[in-house]
């Protein structure tokens, strides 16, 4: 069997309703590109019929190579992507979600920009988001904060649809813990890789429902500190916030005590988390 040039990695959890259409559209797209490819489905401990459907796909003849990884229990999107990265064989790795909110038909556009050398990593930028108002506003706040801390002009860092050179994925592997998947474009840029974004349509989820709870926002905040401290701009913002909190506390302003308490809690949890893992150097 020849080594594929493109590996498409799809993390999923309880996506039995979407898998048939997803697979049909993915295979149609990949058979139409001028490169050999493989699809790697990563089942993140699903409790519905997703594992059975994947088993049937593996037993049937397919127009493209199909592989599957099953995690014994739910580990989260970062762990699922890491499992896919570990077995991917392509020189270009593509990630996309199983909910079909970013159409698989956009993948050739992302691939072409990486293959041409325009960028080492291209992240999709969802246009006219078809999500709840809360999720849209949270996403805008998240991306605005990242721009403030890093200076990077990226509008949709956390979009699940990306294409990257294998070298980028290999250097990001050491960061694939907690929920760090949402920061991959930022980390790649800090390592010196060219990162670009590509506008793509966004459609409402037609089947199933999102299973990300409120805890993901807390993890995003905790993960933000080690990421932001990779940038001098992040250090400036962080030290300024701490200094203002200390000054307000010294002047007996109640907001200062609150700010200082939050600062200490955030720094303590994030630095303890950072100390626990052996993160790679941001240099290439």
In angstroms, the CA 138 to CA 271 distance is 24
Q: Which tokens go with 132?
A: 């709840």
242 falls within a domain: no
Tens of pLDDT, residue by residue over 15-42, are: 999 999 999 999 999 999 999 999 999 9
The number of folded domains in the chain is 1
Pairing assessment for the beta strands 162-165 and 121-127 based on DSSP bridges = antiparallel
> Could you tell me which residue, 229 or 13, shows the higher pLDDT?
13
Confidence of residue 282 (pLDDT cuts 50, 70, 90): very low
227 falls within a domain: no
259 falls within a domain: no
50: left (phi over 0), alpha (psi -120 to 50) or beta: alpha
Domain at 177, CATH number: 3.90.550.10
Burial of 56 (0-12, 13-18, 19+ CB in 10 A): exposed
Q: Which tokens go with 176?
A: 């694939």
228 falls within a domain: no
220 falls within a domain: no
> What count of other Cβ atoms lies within 10 Å of the Cβ of residue 255?
11
161 falls within a domain: yes
Confidence of residue 272 (pLDDT cuts 50, 70, 90): low
Tens of pLDDT, residue by residue over 67-117, are: 999 999 999 999 999 999 999 999 999 999 999 999 999 999 999 999 999
185 falls within a domain: yes
Boundaries of domain holding 87: 6-131+151-206
The pLDDT value recorded for residue 273 is 57
In angstroms, the CA 185 to CA 18 distance is 27
Q: Which tokens go with 21?
A: 């259409």
Q: Which tokens go with 210?
A: 């999102």
In angstroms, the CA 23 to CA 197 distance is 25
In angstroms, the CA 282 to CA 192 distance is 8
268 falls within a domain: no
């Amino acid at each position: 069997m020849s080594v594929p040039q493109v590996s498409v990695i799809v993390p999923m959890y309880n996506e039995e309703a979407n898998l048939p259409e997803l697979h049909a559209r993915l295979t149609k797209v990949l058979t139409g590109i001028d490169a050999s490819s493989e699809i790697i489905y990563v089942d993140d401990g699903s409790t519905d019929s997703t594992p059975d459907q994947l088993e049937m796909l593996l037993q049937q003849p397919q127009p493209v190579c199909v592989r599957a990884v099953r995690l014994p229990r739910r580990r989260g999107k970062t762990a699922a992507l890491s499992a896919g990265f570990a077995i991917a064989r392509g020189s270009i790795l593509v990630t996309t979600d199983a909910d079909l909110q970013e159409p698989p038909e956009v993948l050739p556009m992302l691939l072409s920009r990486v293959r041409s050398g325009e960028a080492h990593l291209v992240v999709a930028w969802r246009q006219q988001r078809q999500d709840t108002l809360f999720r849209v506003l949270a996403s805008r706040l998240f991306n605005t904060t990242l721009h403030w801390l890093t200076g990077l002009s990226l509008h949709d860092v956390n979009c699940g649809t990306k294409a990257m050179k294998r070298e980028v994925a290999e250097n990001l592997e050491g960061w694939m813990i907690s929920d760090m998947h949402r920061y991959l474009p930022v980390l790649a840029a800090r390592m010196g890789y060219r990162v670009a974004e590509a506008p793509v349509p966004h459609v409402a989820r037609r089947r199933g429902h999102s299973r990300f709870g409120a805890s993901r926002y807390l993890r995003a905040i905790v993960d933000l500190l080690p990421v932001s401290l990779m940038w001098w701009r992040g250090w400036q913002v962080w030290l300024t916030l701490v200094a203002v909190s200390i000054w307000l506390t010294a002047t007996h302003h109640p907001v200062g005590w609150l700010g200082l308490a939050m600062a200490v809690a955030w720094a303590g949890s994030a630095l303890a988390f950072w100390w626990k893992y052996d993160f790679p150097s941001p240099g290439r």
